[in-house]
Amino acid sequence: MSDLLTPATAAGAAARSAGVTIRALTELAELHDVCRLFDSIWQSDPADPPVTRDLLRAMSKAGSYVAGAFDGTGLVGACVAFFGAPERREMHSHIAGVSRAARGRSVGYAIKLHQRAWALERGVRTISWTFDPLVSRNAYFNMVKLGGTPVQYLPHFYGPMTDGINGADDTDRLLLRWDLSVLGGPVSKPGLSGAAIALDRTPEGEPVLRPADGRTVLVAVPPDVESLRRADPACARRWRVAVREVLGSLIDGGARVTGFDRAGWYVVERADA
């Protein structure tokens, strides 16, 4: 998307490319549809849904961001965000999802650009959200396609979550901040030559820690952790512990996550090397 486009124009172009219309939602029936969509994506326990209709109603009435993406079949994506402390001019994007049928069309990208334009119109400068550091496609989307920057590692942030995505895994998250003046991360592949590998993969797909003394270090994640959780939960758990130990310790020690390679590597720059 060209930097010459205004945020609203860029958002409109992304929505047209994805074949959707995106708008703010206020009506109870539409908010109920958002809840049903999220329930279908997360396969939630009915007693513990991701969001509830009354909460969305209150957030919408209070001026928070509750938006949906529609195509000819109905609601296919949604996103919910709320404002942070006024002096920070920030929003926190709590949840976003796209139906399985609409995936592969960049609907999620269109929603985030709509959210960006909506936020900028209201004086917001940054949007934050959390994501699972083990999910490589989300890391690539958040960091490379949108241009967000991870700023904190949060171990078991949400506590146990009884849904079909997280399973029995700990809910470690990376907190990411998106400077809304920027759209998109590095367009070229991050420079991996000469970087030290702090967390590697064995040929069998197991995590293995390695000594890494360089300034630039690489941290691997599994290619598809969601499939791994179903096929080998114990291995997925070992990846959780390893990434927490390596990536979490690096960030806690002042290192910056500066890129993500699509092959499944976080690129991290140490401050003290």
Write the DSSP assignment of 58-98 as a string of letters.
HHHHTT-EEEEEEETTEEEEEEEEEE--GGGTEEEEEEEEE
| pLDDT tens by residue, the chain, 273 residues | 445 689 999 999 999 999 999 999 999 999 999 999 999 999 988 888 999 999 999 999 999 999 999 999 999 999 999 999 989 999 999 999 999 999 999 999 999 999 999 999 999 999 999 999 999 999 999 999 999 999 999 999 999 887 778 877 899 999 999 999 988 865 445 557 789 999 999 999 999 999 988 899 999 999 999 999 989 999 999 999 999 999 999 999 999 999 999 999 999 999 875
Nearest one of 108, 257, 121, 119 to 179, comparing CA atoms: 119
Distance CA 82, CA 66 (A): 9
* Tokens representing residue 164 in the block: 């079909």
Distance CA 109, CA 145 (A): 8
Distance CA 110, CA 108 (A): 5
Cβ-contact 221, 235 below 8 angstroms? no
For the chain, which domains are there?
A: 7-179 (3.40.630.30), 196-269 (no CATH)
State the DSSP code for 152: E
Q: Where are the beta strands (DSSP E) in 180-270?
A: 196-201, 207-209, 216-220, 256-261, 265-269
